Amino acid sequence: MAGRDHGDPSTGSTVSVDLDAIAHNVRILRDHAGDAGVMVVVKADGYNHGAVEVARTALSAGARELGVTTVQEALVLRSNGITAPILAWLHHDGTDFAPAIASNVELGLSSVEQVHAVVAAATDANATATVTLKIDTGLNRNGIDPVILDDVIDVLGRAVAADSVRLRGVFSHLACADVPDHPANDRQADVLRAVVARLDAAGLHPEVTHLANSAATLTRPDLHFDLVRPGIAAYGLSPIPELGDFGLRPAMTVSTKVALVKNVPAGAGVSYGHTWNAPADTVVALIPMGYADGVRRNLSGRFEVGIGGRRFPAVGRVCMDQFVVDLGPDGAGVAVGDTAVLFGPGENGEPLAQDWADTLDTIHYEVVTGIGGRVRREYRRTDTGEASA
């Protein structure tokens, strides 16, 4: 996301990413992984935390590999000097695989057609493409159906023999990992094992097998195989909130500066449609973020903001650029320029991303990836007190 870290500094709105929290979380995941390696997923610009900075931090903390969705995401990491193994696994019909092959990006392949396309690109470049087969073991999204595995084996076997392809791995994705004892998890693992056995019998020997996402990394050590592939947990958000936080530290804090403080008389309506009317004389603060920045309109009147260690309710409708919070009749000592925290790690009583998710009947993934617009990103290290834009 070009320019995302710079945002619009005139708004005072910031996504602050605690890199020490990222490192802490990766170390927890590494400990849970046991003998398996750790691939940290940094797709979607590191779940909106900044893929390059997160990747560097994760690798320094013991991650062995990185995972992304697209070839372009992988190439951004390569262009920033990251040399660790990178797997990219979602490709559209016209994807140009040549740059990925030239940059030693491992390609996750989900169809016979993709295998053909990568073999052709590798042959044209007189190079060897590193590939991993994505197997549909029951999620029924992208992935090779085991029913057609023989067709893949035929194409892949010839490509491996010709040295145009190196088969590095086989992987799949769990549908119900957030319910650790769900029978689908074991069924999917059994399908994956059967596919690996068929490949071995055909003389194709994948170097690594992986299945576990964040939830399975933390709760199902029997599904770790050779490599675990956590995403959301690296950012400090529990993959199974009802089971606790697993010792993870949320890395993202979203904040801005109070833009205006004003008196509102009893009975006066606030914001569009006057959906909220002051029940008594009160003081409100204007917060300069809105749905253009990821503060969802359907949060209107349903969330709180932390200012000075206290929480204040948002009142009236969330607008495109701003919303209003009720400070109470005495204004609570809040002044223009004070920091208003929309969500963070909760260390100072501020709301959590999970609070928004609960209110919106969604998941915290959507909350953290949805913050954008003019919001500036900065990086800090809580353990050292350092900060950088």
The residue from 47, 272, 291, 365 that is catalytic is 272
Q: CA geometry: angle at 322 spanning 254 and 302, to 5°?
A: 70
With a CB cutoff of 8 Å and minimum separation 6, the contacts of 144 are 109, 110, 111, 112, 133, 134, 135, 136, 152
What is the residue whose two structure tokens read 């013991």?
62
> In the chain, which ranges are continuous DSSP H helix?
19-33, 43-47, 51-60, 71-79, 98-102, 112-125, 149-161, 183-201, 214-219, 353-360, 364-370
CB 231 within 8 A of CB 246: no
What is the residue whose two structure tokens read 């954008």?
372
Any known ligand binding at 289? no
Residue 43 designated active-site: yes
302 phi and psi, to 5 degrees? -130, 10
CB 245 within 8 A of CB 238: yes
Q: How far is CA 83 from CA 34, 64, 74, 110, 131, in A?
A: 24, 11, 11, 25, 17
The residue from 43, 47, 235, 379 that is catalytic is 43
**Residue 50 backbone class (left: φ over 0; alpha: ψ -120 to 50; beta: rest):** left
Report the C-alpha gap between 23 and 17 in whole angstroms.
12
CB 160 within 8 A of CB 168: no
Token pair, residue 278, equals 């002051």
Any known ligand binding at 141? yes
Residue 134 designated active-site: no
Nearest to 10 by CA among 257, 253, 252, 254: 257
Binding site for substrate, by residue number, is 141, 320
Binding site, by residue number, is 141, 320
Residues with catalytic function: 43, 272
